[in-house]
Structure 1
Amino acid sequence: MTTSLFSETEERQELRTQVAKLAGKYGREWFTAKARAGEKTTELWLELGKNGYLGINVPEEYGGGGGGIGDIAAVCEELAAQGCPMLLMVVSPAICGTVITKYGTEAQKQRWLPGLCDGTSTMAFAITEPDAGTNTHNITTTARRDGDEWVLSGQKIWISGVDEADHVLVVARTEDARTGKVKPVLLVVPTDAKGFEFHHIPVEMVSPEKQFQVFIDDVRLPADALVGDENGGLVQLFAGLNPERIMAASFSTGLARYALRQATAYAKERTVFKAPIGSHQAIAHPLAQSHIEIEMARLMTQKAAALYDDGDEAAAGEAANMAKYAAAEAACDAVDRAVQTHGGYGASQEYGMAGLLVAVRVGRIAPVSREMILNFVAMHSLGLPKSY
């Protein structure tokens, strides 16, 4: 039957069920309590690793589950849907794990992937710079050869989870590419390397995972810190960026589902004017609209993941950008409607709706802004002239 084409496999559905069950043991109250106390959610992270969920997209020979981006995206979504959004899921197994799996040497895979899979090690990802923003071609973090070593210098900003990562996968450019088009190289840098420093950036978001500005001052690295070909170019970089967009979409749809579930439950039980407020169309219709928007975003995310896992890079890039855009919009609307449904309680810590506002709003900005996605779609999907 053709309807089966629009259903996930039984294995994927069971994966979602089990991850939701695991995350549900912890829940939103536990998650926010940890975040507000400045503590980490290490217990949940390690249990995810123990059960094989962190590395489900990594080949089995390196400790993973042998699945694809669609599987790790499902894990990310279900965690967020239980009120436990794990930002490092986007970075460590999805971006870094994918890049190393695709372009790392056998020794690099053996060295780094098992820890990413079982949760005993995490890897951050550093591409954004203070003066480059979304213009990756303007990055100035430079890698130059010095004998058998690499010397790395520059700055990065808005880098997630550096304080709990053992290594950072840094996007730099080679010395001879300082001018002209970017010629990116990918280097794994230990967070305790001499010359590597990071400073916390306070943000108005309830999350145990913090943001940092990174300073890299002539950090010396061995030759095997380079992942992939020195002349591999943007192809290697986008091996990580398309999964990042897919994961960001799953992060958003998971949070949207959580907010909608909480709002719906409240609308069923809260009685004003002798009837549950959910019986009024002014409440019911916006929530129904969010359900539709979320499901559309989820479908586009699943399409993007399927295209990526099938190796259709061009189509996957377009779909991943669309999925990230649609999911961020759906999440912002869902959380705003959830706050409104709760009335005054929407601003309370007790119900936790207001704490989601910043978390989902960031989805319109990172990892790529909605404006740059619209630029991409206008140019590549519609064939309109480049506007920037």
Structure 2
Amino acid sequence: MLLTSENQTLDSYAPGLRERLYDHGLLANEGAGSTAVADWSATGGTSLIVPTSLGGAGASAVDAVRFQTAIGAVAPSLAAATTMHHLSCATLFEAAEDASQDERDLIRALVEGGTVMASGFSEGSPGGSVFRPTMTARRDGDDYLLSGRKAPCSLSRSMSLLVASALVDGSERAVVLVFDGAEGLSREEFWKSPVLAAAESDALVLDDVRVGADMVFLTSENDPDDVHEMTGYLWFGLLISACYLGVATRMVERLTERDRLDPKLFASALAEVETMRTALHAVAREFDEGARGGDVSARLALVRWSMRDALVRVQSMVREAVGGFAYMQDPELAYAFEAVQVFGYHPPSRRDTADRLVRWARGEDFRYV
């Protein structure tokens, strides 16, 4: 079994989740009636990477990568969607480093309550940043009025809380918490592709949503160098990569179940998967050892760059190994072929990353924010 350690990690942090996902099967997990998000929430997956000091499971980056890889193998929509939840969690517990006790108590209550969090951070754009806010907030007495749009926004239908970045009064950056049901918060259909549709990636629209000051974490002062945001993006990069590593690993694993198998073709596909796994785990271990900032971010960017090409090669080799009849008669495998392609659509763009990598190789600090 190529996913033994990953499955063991999943079982350790979310007992019963793997059984539920495999009992339903990949197509049901990816379908319109999917219960995968509810299963994940019910089995304790929401607190995975949150430190124990804030009520979480305190998983290491290596364990979190294994956890997401195991989920990606059988429920890629869930793995992709929950990566955004974990990004929101990371943003909050990074902000808690400089937060008041009341703010830390709030974060702990959210974590211990199993709150499902959607991420309202900005998408990548050419010449822009995945963390520069696209939402705006303005002070109105003791409150703030938040406006903007996040599309796509994973977990848009299951979320209890939106964790968004915003520019306050045109100058200060902030992390803002908005509970589902707030006046002025609405949803719009966005994701029309059947691939990864169960990630619930529709649009959230905010029109002067009133938010109390206790739900606004101003970051311009406590994170002037964007270290917390960079750390959140490291979590995102590791976990979104793990999602697609899981899809690819399961494709290769399924080749071992076939009676007729070209050993050389299998070994080539297996080598691609194991190389991706080794590289991703190396960055995760570096993170667990305390690495933060530009250099580890650049190495993760390079891993993601190489994975994009490696995933295409794995998909191509598995297609060749199984042949046309298997493709026609195995809808799970056909779905996996399509799902693995989405890896290349996650921000930042290759164009933006390439420019930053060139500058890093020339001795400049690597930064996304």
Normalising to structure 1: TM-score of the pair?
A: 0.79
Deviates more, 1:34-43 or 1:254-263: 34-43
Q: CA deviation at 1:223?
A: 0.7
What is the match of residue 7 of structure 1? none
Q: Does 1:311 align with 2:290?
A: yes
Alpha-carbon spacing, 1:385–1:129, altered in 2? closer, same or farther (3 Å) = closer
Q: How many pairs were matched up? A: 352
Q: Does 1:376 align with 2:365?
A: no
Deviation by residue 1:102-122 (Cα, 9 ceiling, x = unmatched): 21334344334455466x420
The question of whether the paired residues in 2 share the 8 Å contact of 1:28 and 1:82 is answered with: no
Q: Does 1:214 align with 2:204?
A: yes
Give the letter for the 1:288 counterpart.
A
Q: Which among 291, 297, 306 is matched to residue 276 of structure 2?
A: 297
Deviation by residue 1:145-170 (Cα, 9 ceiling, x = unmatched): 22211121222211111110011111
Give the letter for the 2:269 counterpart.
S
User: What SS does the aligned partner of 1:194 have?
Assistant: coil
The one of the two structures with greater contact order (alpha-carbon pairs below 8 A, sep at least 6) is 2
User: What SS does the aligned partner of 1:353 have?
Assistant: helix
Q: Does 1:190 align with 2:185?
A: no
What is the match of residue 65 of structure 1? 57
Distance 1:383 1:64 in 2: 38
User: What SS does the aligned partner of 1:287 have?
Assistant: helix
The question of whether the paired residues in 2 share the 8 Å contact of 1:256 and 1:330 is answered with: no
Q: Does 1:88 align with 2:68?
A: no
Q: Does 1:167 align with 2:157?
A: no
Give the letter for the 1:191 counterpart.
D
What is the match of residue 244 of structure 1? 236
Q: Which among 223, 235, 249 is matched to residue 257 of structure 1?
A: 249
Distance 1:141 1:257 in 2: 37
Q: CA deviation at 1:90?
A: 0.8
Give the letter for the 1:236 counterpart.
H
Deviates more, 1:135-144 or 1:293-302: 135-144
What is the match of residue 272 of structure 1? none
Distance 1:335 1:354 in 2: 10
Q: Radius of gyration: which is bigger? A: 1
Distance 2:338 2:350 in 1: 16
CA RMSD of aligned residues (A): 3.1
Alpha-carbon spacing, 1:287–1:185, altered in 2? closer, same or farther (3 Å) = farther
Distance 1:134 1:355 in 2: 33
What is the match of residue 140 of structure 2? 146
Distance 2:16 2:256 in 1: 20
The question of whether the paired residues in 1 share the 8 Å contact of 2:154 and 2:202 is answered with: yes
The question of whether the paired residues in 1 share the 8 Å contact of 2:6 and 2:69 is answered with: no
Distance 1:46 1:17 in 2: 14
Distance 1:133 1:250 in 2: 25
Alpha-carbon spacing, 1:61–1:129, altered in 2? closer, same or farther (3 Å) = closer
Q: Does 1:135 align with 2:128?
A: yes
Alpha-carbon spacing, 1:384–1:292, altered in 2? closer, same or farther (3 Å) = farther
Deviation by residue 1:112-138 (Cα, 9 ceiling, x = unmatched): 4455466x42001122359x5672387
Give the gaps of 5 or more residues in structure 1: 1-10, 178-182, 270-275
User: What SS does the aligned partner of 1:101 have?
Assistant: helix
